[in-house]
Amino acid sequence: MEFASAIKVACVNGEPAGRHYDGFRPVAFPSVSSAGPDGAQRRQPAKAPLFSSPPPLRLFSSAPRLRLSPSEEKTRYDTDHIELFRQESYFAYLFGVVEPGFYGAIGYDPWGADCNGQAFGLLPQGLAFEPPYGHLHDKIHRFLLSKDCRDIASGKSILFAPRLPDDYAVWLGEIKPLNYFKEKYMVEMMYYTDEIAEVLQDVYQESHKPLLFLLHGLNTDSNNFSKPAEFQGIDKFETDLTTLHPILTECRVIKSDLELALIQFANGISSEAHVEVMRKVRVGMKEYQLESMFLHHTYMYGGCRHCSYTCICATGGNSSVLHYGHAAAPNDRTLEDGDMALLDMGAEYNFYGSDITCSFPVNGKFTFDQSLIYNAVLDAHNAVIASMKPGACWVDMHKLAEKIILESLTRAGILVGNVDDMMSERVGALFMPHGLGHFLGIDTHDPGGYSKGLERPKEPGLKSLRTIRELQEGMVITVEPGCYFIDALWVSAMEKSNIARFLNHEAIRRFKGFGGVRIESDLYITANGCKNMTNVPREIHEIEAVMAGAPWPLDKVSIYSAVNGEENKSGNI
């Protein structure tokens, strides 16, 4: 079996007995009073240990080990202002450590199978088995399976904490003893980071240099490389910079049940927040007030201190700016009557994120043109979801969304000509220049979109795809078709005869300043199809009813009351 196949099989079938989840909220965190989408209080499941008893772990003299480099707190430029720390994603994925400056190591015994060579695995920034990280050893076993090292006994986990100065207790709080971290993160051994080389050599006890697998590889979304671990005494070890990254990246592509529970919670609370913003938006507000309402709801009722990404609260023409909301375009426009709003916001919970986009008119009523563009995107969104299942090619899903949008624009007279010819000339990229979606997990743009051997397409629109893989059970991926009227693209399109011949210039001028529409949901690929983890109003009648005061989800009474102008008095979401 090739190692990629072994990884996928182990991820699906090798789920460890873990802490139970019920509904949205993982039990490892304090209860937060919050009503669910139906107004009922979320149930708090009974606590259960991650393992009924600690798994048998042994470290042998010739044991492979993996290593990651630690994440450190950063100050704002040359000041002493420390930015809020968020753990490096690979380290968070394997260990769940929230504190900065940790290292971790895992030892393995590959012997008992025909496996060549000795190795040592060390991971910086912590090692934890707290949910959803209890599948750590399953991940490592996958790696060893890829090396034909079967019949693995087990490995001991070692965590290295920074040795804090005495002043820490005065300014930042109690200095926790090593045993505190050992129990919190359920590791076998606990030491300080200034003891790494000595501890690993003592454990290894061989005459030749042990081998460290270090995390170093390319992120195909950012084109940045992960930084390999460094520590005093690393020259006493052999290092491997190529093996670990693609294996851990492939592990992250398929989500465990525990990971799905966290993603679902992030989706649940973010969906609630989107509905809350939709209900409270008013003409005359500032865009940043919509962002503020979202952040308040997810933090107040979900305990989400971090967002998955910078909030995009775009209205009017700003909604055609794909990544609006940055420092140079800081969600500061005043909402005007007749504007469309495009709100792309998602909360992060215990490292795992959500990514949801809702589009709606700020005055609560769709115009003819707004309905036309919105329904074109909604039809594409729904058609893709209906077609998603294991084996479906993501490039085909993107083209399906493009084609449905082009067909809708042609029926409306905005485009003229044959839709198949438009597809060949890549006219769809003029209206949707971004890719259809991306993997979602600990990172908003989770890695693994381009595994070894896959090349990014070069055609307009397709070159923006963050993955071209076939869908597999266990993946979580966003579906986010859009239709935008972007001035910067129209200028060049009008000059290209192969594109301009499809454009009804008079009709397109009608949409100048319209902005754009995007509809984004988070989907989990199941054995036979997919599950939508996002729960917000999508149909026009649903949006208008909720904005008129109806509770969500809608019922017949709510729809009737909203249509007849009777505001909802219950306060339910």
End-to-end CA separation in angstroms for the chain: 50
pLDDT in tens, 267-284: 999 999 999 999 999 999
pLDDT on residue 151: 24
Within this chain, do residues 247 and 277 fall inside the same structural domain, yes or no? Answer: no
Judge whether residue 370 has pLDDT over 60. Answer: yes
Same domain, residue pair 237 and 292: no
Decide if pLDDT at 54 tops 50. no
Considering the domain architecture, whether residues 215 and 364 belong to the same structural domain is answered as no
Task: Report the pLDDT value the prediction gives residue 68, as an integer from 0 to 100.
Answer: 55
Residue 293, domain CATH: 3.90.230.10
Residue 331 included in any domain: yes
Residues 323, 266 share a domain: yes
Is the pLDDT reported for residue 205 higher than 80? no
Task: Look up the CATH number of the domain holding residue 246.
Answer: 3.40.350.10
Residue that terminates a domain, selected from 197, 226, 253: 253
Q: Is 510 contained in some domain?
A: yes
The answer to whether the CB of 35 falls within 8 A of the CB of 1 is no
Q: 448 vs 92, which has greater pLDDT?
A: 448
The predicted pLDDT at position 106 comes to 72
**Domain membership flag for residue 39:** no
pLDDT at position 206: 66
pLDDT confidence band for 142 (50 / 70 / 90): very low
Does residue 53 have a pLDDT over 50? no
Say yes or no to pLDDT of 255 above 70: yes
Confidence of residue 221 (pLDDT cuts 50, 70, 90): very high
Confidence of residue 92 (pLDDT cuts 50, 70, 90): confident
Whether 208 and 334 map to the same domain: the answer is: no
Query: How far apart, in whole angstroms, are the C-alpha atoms of residue 158 and residue 350?
Result: 22
Helix (H) or strand (E) holding 394, with range, is helix 394-411
Q: Which residue has the higher pLDDT, 526 or 53?
A: 526
Place of tokens 């993982």: 26
On whether both 327 and 352 belong to a single domain, the answer is yes
Instruction: Dump pLDDT digits (tens) for 374-393.
Output: 999 999 999 999 999 999 99
User: Has residue 253 got a pLDDT over 50?
Assistant: yes
Residue 498, domain member (yes or no): yes
Question: Within 13 Å and on the Cβ side, how many CA atoms surround 388?
Answer: 31
Are 281 and 406 within one domain? yes
Same domain, yes or no, for 230 and 283?
A: no
Domain assignment of residue 50, yes or no? no
Query: At 523, is the secondary structure helix, strand, or coil?
Result: strand
Of 253, 276, 302, the residue at which a domain comes to its end is: 253
- CB burial readout 47-64, b (16+ within 10 A) else e: eeebeeeebebebbebbb
| Residue range of the domain that includes 246 | 64-109+150-253
Least confident of 33-47, 397-411, 428-442, 464-478: 33-47
pTM score of the predicted model: 0.83
Residues 455 and 430 in one domain: yes
Stretch (H or E) spanning 356: strand 356-361
Same domain for 303 and 218, yes or no, is no
Domain count, the chain: 2
Give the C-alpha separation, 105 to 125, whole Å: 10
Cβ proximity of 136 and 129 under 8 Å: yes
Nearest of 131, 130, 141 to residue 106 by alpha carbon: 141
